[in-house]
A and B are shown apart, each in its own frame.
Chain A
């Protein structure tokens, strides 16, 4: 190697370290506080399922009814964990891809703290003064401007980082991140204004809520998770993205299609019929995104699938992308009359929401976190065994949870649609499945206990001091000592 290229490589490494240092504190803050909320959310998921199965539990406590436990669980999962994990990942990934340093650590950290305070107040309010019953927007309505401001002060830096990028073209992952950063405030402000502040149509408020749920899933969770997948998969396999034009097609298809989704939840609802129909059509068109993304990742990975045995980042990310395919198929299926009329208003709806937030988004975020945290803390994950535990209990937990919810939902919806059957038939038939739901949350909770523990150790600088990354199974030969080893190739990889 000539001294010239060595110098450039060395300079690149120095740059990268400086960038990682600049985002270290905010990113770690989001990940660790997110992980704590995740534990709470899993515990509440377990408790709400338990309460549903044994409705007599805690009968005298007004704060522990299902109608409060369940929204508290959902909102802790979404605003406490998922959005914080997403924002942390956004900042790191954007800084890395733009090769620019974050200049506003303090602002981001302060906004992050305020965000956490807001979530805390929101959860307290759901328990003690009651939520709004608006799905995914259960916090009292005076909290949202605070959260919107925090979001602005955090993600504006994602936009600034993108503005100072060195490659003009921009990577596909950057497009996804910018999309997420840019769309969310628009969606969030529209939804909150219409639902809580404008005195117009009551049915449209409910419609806007289901549109909000769909948009948060497909205009925020999805782009961030796909940005991670388009970064991690080429990076770890050391290959360029199979087809950049396919990736670009997927991105723009998602952008055009996803905003029309949402009303299919209310097929047959009190809306002009074209609105749910449009939603259903968009859900089916979303399959284009699912298929092109799936094919792209598959082709990039082809012949290198054995890497999921070793790399935790790749294993979680690939699991997440597979779940995205599942989510796309199920969303399309449930917006189709034949299944839709049974799945609508059933346990399957809740199952699909959890599939989106945990199976797809969170699992992909774990992939990102296993990749990012060693780079910003300078130490490696303490225990491969714990990563294995985290993966298998999470994967097993979420798959069984979703499977039980969907099967229970189908039975439930089928029985409700047999109009001559007593309604209680549909209640009794799902009781066993609710037990499974409780057990699944316990599995996921235990998985995330190990995750949070490892993350705290890393945060405290108590990780392994090692040259090589922590691999799930040690690899024969020395081919992949570190994810970074593939970096040279992957740098070209994530690009056009």
Chain B
């Protein structure tokens, strides 16, 4: 009798939680894990020349992502562009694509944009800028190093911490009396590789185009 009543409670608890666990977590996880890079149709290419979406990323990006995680960047920077119903991210210059290009249509971030990463740093707060497409906003490696080494030398009001520990002071020619040269460590270079690789605006392989492509393949005469 006692046991009955007890197991009924546990059964209820398991059912109440098991349903969202299965439908909200397990099933979507399995489905989204099956996503793979897709080839563009023949007449289409990404701006960087890649023939698949999402394209390969250059440099030490996986080490860079580790540094990004370790330094807690995710607490202040998001990597998620919301569609228009949920905010004005698409309009903000530089957030959803190259800053210079104000004309072409912009899009929100999609699950496939994060393929190849082990964890999608969608973010907790936006104390700093969204970094989904920060790769377009960085002029060159040196200016990014400057920003990481001393943020307030680039943006006086910035509240970003300085990451001086990712840099070494080197005295050229062993002359300790002179000014040291600031040299990035391998980790700083990897972090810069990672940040430069953040471009989540590649054109989506058009469904209609892809379907047409398949049709072409099936019937080369047409």
Q: Give me the interface of A with B, judged by CB distance under 8 Å.
A: 51-53, 55-56, 59-60, 62, 65-68, 70-71, 129-135, 138, 162-163, 168-170, 175, 178-179, 182-183, 186, 190, 194-195, 198-208, 211, 219, 252, 255-256, 259-260, 262-263, 266-272, 275, 278, 337, 340-341, 344-347, 349-350, 412-413, 416-420, 423-424, 426-428, 431
Bound-complex Cα distance A379 to B129 (A)? 54
B91 near A419 with CB under 8 A, answer: yes
Bound-complex Cα distance A364 to B55 (A)? 51
Q: How far is the CB of A180 from chain B (nearest CB, A)?
A: 10
B88 near A417 with CB under 8 A, answer: yes
B163 near A65 with CB under 8 A, answer: yes
Q: A200-B33, A260-B20, A423-B129 are in contact. Are A205 and B119 (CB under 8 A)?
A: yes
| A-B residue pairs in contact (CB < 8 Å), sample of 10 | A55-B161, A67-B76, A133-B69, A168-B2, A194-B29, A200-B29, A206-B122, A211-B24, A345-B126, A427-B128
Interface flag for B152 (CB, 8 Å): yes
Interface flag for B190 (CB, 8 Å): no
Give the bracket for the number of chain B residues in contact with chain A: 35 or more
Q: A202-B117, A202-B118 are in contact. Are A163 and B88 (CB under 8 A)?
A: no
Stretch of B38-46, B108-116, B172-180, B214-222 lying at the A interface: B108-116
A201 near B33 with CB under 8 A, answer: yes
A55 near B72 with CB under 8 A, answer: no
Chain A residue numbers with a CB within 8 Å of B6 are 162-163
Chain B residue numbers with a CB within 8 Å of A169 are 5
Q: How many A-B residue pairs have CB under 8 A?
A: 231
Q: A129-B70, A203-B111 are in contact. Are A208 and B25 (CB under 8 A)?
A: yes
Chain A residue numbers with a CB within 8 Å of B152 are 55-56
Look across to chain B and name the residue whose beta carbon is closest to the beta carbon of A416: B126
Chain B residue numbers with a CB within 8 Å of A56 are 152, 162
A259 near B19 with CB under 8 A, answer: yes
Chain B residue numbers with a CB within 8 Å of A266 are 80, 122
Interface flag for B35 (CB, 8 Å): yes
Bound-complex Cα distance A206 to B155 (A)? 30
The 8 Å CB contact of B17, one of A53, A131, A186, A272, is A186
17 further contact pairs, Cβ within 8 A, besides A205-B119, A271-B111 = A55-B161, A59-B162, A70-B72, A133-B72, A133-B74, A168-B1, A178-B13, A202-B118, A211-B25, A260-B20, A268-B87, A269-B80, A269-B109, A345-B125, A417-B88, A423-B129, A427-B127
Q: Give me the interface of B with A, judged by CB distance under 8 Å.
A: 1-2, 5-6, 9-10, 12-14, 16-17, 19-21, 24-25, 28-30, 32-33, 35, 68-76, 78, 80, 82-83, 85-89, 91-93, 108-111, 113-129, 151-152, 155, 157-165
B70 near A252 with CB under 8 A, answer: no
The 8 Å CB contact of B109, one of A130, A219, A270, is A270
Bound-complex Cα distance A175 to B6 (A)? 10
Bound-complex Cα distance A143 to B10 (A)? 28
Chain A residue numbers with a CB within 8 Å of B120 are 202-203, 205-206, 270
Chain B residue numbers with a CB within 8 Å of A349 are 124-125
A419 near B93 with CB under 8 A, answer: yes
Chain A residue numbers with a CB within 8 Å of B127 are 52, 427
The 8 Å CB contact of A67, one of B29, B71, B126, is B71
Q: A133-B74, A194-B25, A259-B17 are in contact. Are A427 and B87 (CB under 8 A)?
A: no
B157 near A427 with CB under 8 A, answer: yes
Chain A residue numbers with a CB within 8 Å of B129 are 423
Bound-complex Cα distance A196 to B204 (A)? 29
Q: A186-B21, A204-B32, A205-B120 are in contact. Are A255 and B92 (CB under 8 A)?
A: no
B161 near A208 with CB under 8 A, answer: no
Bound-complex Cα distance A473 to B194 (A)? 60
Bound-complex Cα distance A52 to B161 (A)? 8
Q: How far is the CB of B68 from chain A (nearest CB, A)?
A: 7
Look across to chain B and name the residue whose beta carbon is closest to the beta carbon of A278: B24
Look across to chain A and name the residue whose beta carbon is closest to the beta carbon of B112: A270
Q: How far is the CB of B74 from chain A (nearest CB, A)?
A: 4
Chain A residue numbers with a CB within 8 Å of B14 are 182
B73 near A133 with CB under 8 A, answer: yes
B71 near A68 with CB under 8 A, answer: yes
B71 near A190 with CB under 8 A, answer: no
Chain B residue numbers with a CB within 8 Å of A428 are 157
Chain A residue numbers with a CB within 8 Å of B10 are 178, 182
Q: A259-B21, A350-B124 are in contact. Are A134 and B108 (CB under 8 A)?
A: no
Chain B residue numbers with a CB within 8 Å of A202 are 114-120
Q: How far is the CB of B220 from chain A (nearest CB, A)?
A: 36
Bound-complex Cα distance A412 to B28 (A)? 32
Chain A residue numbers with a CB within 8 Å of B71 are 65, 67-68, 130
B87 near A55 with CB under 8 A, answer: no
B24 near A337 with CB under 8 A, answer: no
Q: A133-B121, A190-B25 are in contact. Are A270 and B113 (CB under 8 A)?
A: yes
Q: A68-B72, A133-B74, A267-B86 are in contact. Are A201 and B35 (CB under 8 A)?
A: yes
Q: How far is the CB of B84 from chain A (nearest CB, A)?
A: 9
Chain A residue numbers with a CB within 8 Å of B16 are 252, 255-256, 259
Chain B residue numbers with a CB within 8 Å of A424 are 155, 157-158
Bound-complex Cα distance A205 to B68 (A)? 16
